Amino acid sequence: MKHHYLGLAARKKGAWRQLFVHGSKYDLNHLKIYLQERYQGETMLTKNGRSALALALKGYFEKGDKVIVNGFTCYAVYEAVKAAGLTPVFADITKEDLNFSVETISKVADGAKGIIIQNTLGNPVDIEAIEAFAKEKNLLIVEDLAHCVGINYRDGREAGTVGIATALSFGKDKSIDTITGGAVIFRAPRKHEIKAPAKAPARSDNFRARFYPMAGAMCRGLSYVHLGGAMMKLFLKLHMVEKSADNKLDLSVKPAKFEAKLALEQIKTLKNEKPLREFYLVRSRDEVLKKLKKVGYYFDGFWYEKPISPARYYNKVHFPESDCPVAVMVASTIINFPTHYDKKELERAKEIVKEYL
């Protein structure tokens, strides 16, 4: 199993850098200016991606407005829509790219005012068709780049340059990963005044964001002797790390300075020539995950085990399963490969997964 360790040195180097990197006000300002120029709009830096998305929605919609959301997404998106005072309407997806289509959107578009495009796992939507439909129905497009910073749509335009607003997440396992942080870019004149987040993160939040990559590296190393899960549970119990879904929405907090420095470094060098995560639909998923774990792969926390993940928040959403049958099917059969393994490390995992396609 030596090939599993090929990316370990690089991951440890990144973990040490996150733990000790120094940031400054210059890094916050430089990141803001860079995003303004890249996405052509007024930029605000935020505590996390869900806060960015909530601010984007608050800028353009009235309370109670219906907004179309991908039927296969995370609780953070639902939370952002609700925090903006809006009503989420879920559209079913296709199993080929995990995105909604014009056909599925059209079934829920009556009375809607907007649509959030997320390009699931870095797979781009058919933007030309959706944009044409949105214009016909007077739907405002907001782009969520958590999975897809730097990708191009099929017509050549970069994701984030189409809608009235663009939201970025710098959360764990996202396209830009500094554990927390985010940004919103208002690309069209806003209807409502928005106050830019100005409060610095709590010291405890900064510690957790700095320590998480090191904790992950330690737990993955121990996963090969089947102790990684127990160590992560200990870190969570001691509040030394925090699960991504538990990173609370807060419209008053900006990112840490070191997060801005790391985010800018990553976005400048990012080359998204393939989707963020490779996915497969399998039978007997629990059996597959057990086989993967037996040979040292720690795939817990993959996106998504429920149509709206994580499972512990699913009942809060009251998801319309009968209206989104493909999303329900995909959520029960999908395996997608985490971002912290490199291509060679995943060769054995692919062999196992492909036996169950």
Strand 182-186 to 279-281 pairing = unpaired
Domain boundary among 171, 186, 201: 186
Q: Is residue 224 part of a domain?
A: no
* Residue pLDDT, tens place only, 262-304: 999 999 998 766 788 899 999 999 999 999 988 878 776 667 7
Q: Is residue 130 part of a domain?
A: yes
Could you tell me if 52 and 178 lie in one domain? Answer: yes
Residue 320: the pLDDT is 97
Q: Which domain holds residue 56?
A: 22-186
Report how far residue 133's alpha carbon sits from residue 263's, in angstroms, rounded to the nearest whole number: 34
Domain boundary among 161, 186, 211: 186
Instruction: Using alpha carbons, select from 68, 157, 82 the residue that is nearest to residue 117.
Output: 68
Could you tell me if 63 and 175 lie in one domain? Answer: yes
- The pTM of this model reads 0.94
Q: Are 80 and 67 in contact (CB under 8 A)?
A: no
Q: Please, which pLDDT band fits residue 10 given cuts at 50, 70 and 90?
A: low
Report how far residue 51's alpha carbon sits from residue 141's, in angstroms, rounded to the nearest whole number: 18
Residue 9 has pLDDT above 60, yes or no: no
Six-digit token string for 171? 């959360």
* Residue pLDDT, tens place only, 138-191: 999 999 999 999 999 999 999 999 999 999 999 998 999 999 999 999 999 999
CATH number at residue 66: 3.40.640.10
Report how far residue 217's alpha carbon sits from residue 236's, in angstroms, rounded to the nearest whole number: 15
Could you tell me if 162 and 301 lie in one domain? Answer: no
Report how far residue 154's alpha carbon sits from residue 7's, in angstroms, rounded to the nearest whole number: 32
Residue 142 vs residues 148, 164, 202: alpha-carbon distances, Å: 14, 6, 29
Residue 2 has pLDDT above 50, yes or no: no
Q: Is residue 99 part of a domain?
A: yes
Domain boundary among 155, 186, 217: 186
Q: Please, which pLDDT band fits residue 6 given cuts at 50, 70 and 90?
A: very low
Q: Is residue 134 part of a domain?
A: yes
Q: Are 356 and 12 in contact (CB under 8 A)?
A: no
* Residue pLDDT, tens place only, 319-343: 999 999 999 999 999 998 888 777 8
Q: Is residue 35 part of a domain?
A: yes
Residue 301: the pLDDT is 65
Could you tell me if 284 and 180 lie in one domain? Answer: no
Domain count, the chain: 2
Residue 128: the pLDDT is 97
Residue 222: the pLDDT is 77
Residue 232 has pLDDT above 90, yes or no: no
Q: Which residue has the tokens 């370990």?
A: 8
The overall average pLDDT reported for the chain is: 92
Of residues 220 and 242, more confidence is placed in 242
Could you tell me if 44 and 147 lie in one domain? Answer: yes
> In what helix (H) or strand (E) does residue 39 lie, and over which residues does it extend?
helix 25-39
Residue 29 has pLDDT above 70, yes or no: yes
Percent of the chain scoring above 70 in pLDDT: 94
